[in-house]
A = this chain, B = another copy of it.
């Protein structure tokens, strides 16, 4: 018996969070710091505003990102990683390393969704 011989409920829960369309790309956008909604939308490129809002709400609900509202005019809303979210940097970097080594042809249809 090893750690990987059977499913781990913690891993399973993590993948239900991380294994959603666009979530990896959204998380990558935060690695260097806080972002506004339009920054993330531009960065991720191809996601609809509606789905991006939904994903941000899900990540906020999981304590992975923090939504901060500044009462300026116009109001500024910024999203950033919590400590739990910052810890995902190792996952993003692991995916990046794998992609750099193994993805030959990065061209992929980016259907809006």
A interface residue numbers (CB < 8 A to B): 2-16, 18-25, 28-29, 31-32, 43-45, 84, 87-88, 90-103, 105-108, 110
Contacts A18-B19, A18-B24, A19-B24 hold; do A3 and B96 have CB atoms under 8 A apart? yes
Main SS of chain A's interface residues?
helix
Q: Using Cβ atoms and an 8 Å threshold, which residues of chain B touch A101?
A: 87
Taken together as a complex, chains A and B put the C-alpha atoms of A3 and B8 apart, in Å, by 32
Q: Using Cβ atoms and an 8 Å threshold, which residues of chain B touch A96?
A: 3, 8, 10-11, 14
Whether the Cβ atoms of A108 and B12 lie closer than 8 Å is: yes
What is the distance, in angstroms, from A80's C-beta to the closest C-beta of chain B?
A: 14
Q: Using Cβ atoms and an 8 Å threshold, which residues of chain B touch A106?
A: 8-10, 12-13
